[in-house]
């Protein structure tokens, strides 16, 4: 789908003036008046409703332009319709992308910790997102890429994420009480199975490198359905936590 220069400019303004907590999205007529006249805004309204197959509801009111569609959903709808990954990557910073990914996991029933910090061998480590459901703990690296990566680069990143999982497992083994440290309870089991996962903004084919999955965010829901059945075919590390649950 071709996005007109008029619509491109409007979208840049929309994302620069709003953030992930805003609903509805809003642009004042004062902000728009330097770039568009009433005829332009009516065309933009029609363009947005057309590209979303009616899912995006737009209202032109006395004070400005209201767009009734969630911030992240808007960004990924545009990607689905062929909007530039480069443009979206500038509209969403890496923090926005991490929150978007975390929110998908929450909707799928996972407990979430963003930007989990821990120390191993006196070196401080960070994991972008921890997502836990029952005794499964996903160790997620959210990559805000503007373009694809070479196979050698993907192998390097997969190895890094595997290493973080190993360090996290050792950290958990040494903890006297896992629950408060991870900030959510562990239920029904005395073991945790930790899986590395890399999720990208850039649309890429689903791939598994050294049994570590690398997927684009638009495929995440489908991947989680597959993961529920096939997870133990992937690389993972298990931790016995009997003492932490007493």
Instruction: Output the pLDDT for position 157.
Output: 93
Parallel, antiparallel, or unpaired: how do β-strands 207-209 and 123-133 relate? unpaired
Residues 180, 175: Cα–Cα separation, whole Å: 10
Residues 112, 114: Cα–Cα separation, whole Å: 6
Q: E strand or H helix at 40, and its extent?
A: helix 38-51
Just give the CATH number of 95-245: 3.40.1350
pLDDT mean for each 10 residues of the chain (246 residues): 84 86 89 90 89 88 90 81 74 82 89 90 90 93 80 92 94 68 55 93 80 89 92 94 48
Going by the DSSP 8-state scheme, the letter that residue 109 receives in this structure is T
**For the chain, what are the domain ranges?**
5-92, 95-245
Residues 105, 215: Cα–Cα separation, whole Å: 14
168: nearest Cα among 155, 178, 158:
178
């Amino acid at each position: 789908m071709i996005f007109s220069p008029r619509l491109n400019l409007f979208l840049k303004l929309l994302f620069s003036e709003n953030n992930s907590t805003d609903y509805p999205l809003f642009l004042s007529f004062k902000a728009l008046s330097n770039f568009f006249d009433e005829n332009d805004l009516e065309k933009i309204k029609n363009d947005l409703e057309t590209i979303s197959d009616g899912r995006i509801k737009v209202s032109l009111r006395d004070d400005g332009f209201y767009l009734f569609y969630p911030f992240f959903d808007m960004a990924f709808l545009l990607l689905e319709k062929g909007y530039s990954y480069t443009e979206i990557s500038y509209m969403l910073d890496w923090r926005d992308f991490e929150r978007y990914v975390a929110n998908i996991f929450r909707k799928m029933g996972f407990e979430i910790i963003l930007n989990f910090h821990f120390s191993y061998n006196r070196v401080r480590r960070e994991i972008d997102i921890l997502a836990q459901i029952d005794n499964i703990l996903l160790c997620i690296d959210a990559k805000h890429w503007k373009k694809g990566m070479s196979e050698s680069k993907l192998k390097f990143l997969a190895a890094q994420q595997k290493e973080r999982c190993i360090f996290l497992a050792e950290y958990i083994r040494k903890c006297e009480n896992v629950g408060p440290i991870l900030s959510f309870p562990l239920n029904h089991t005395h073991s945790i199975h930790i899986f590395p996962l890399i999720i990208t903004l850039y649309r890429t084919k689903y791939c598994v490198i050294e049994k570590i999955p690398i997927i684009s965010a638009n495929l995440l829901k489908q991947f989680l359905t597959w993961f529920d059945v096939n997870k133990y075919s992937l690389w993972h590390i298990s931790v016995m936590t009997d003492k932490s649950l007493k």
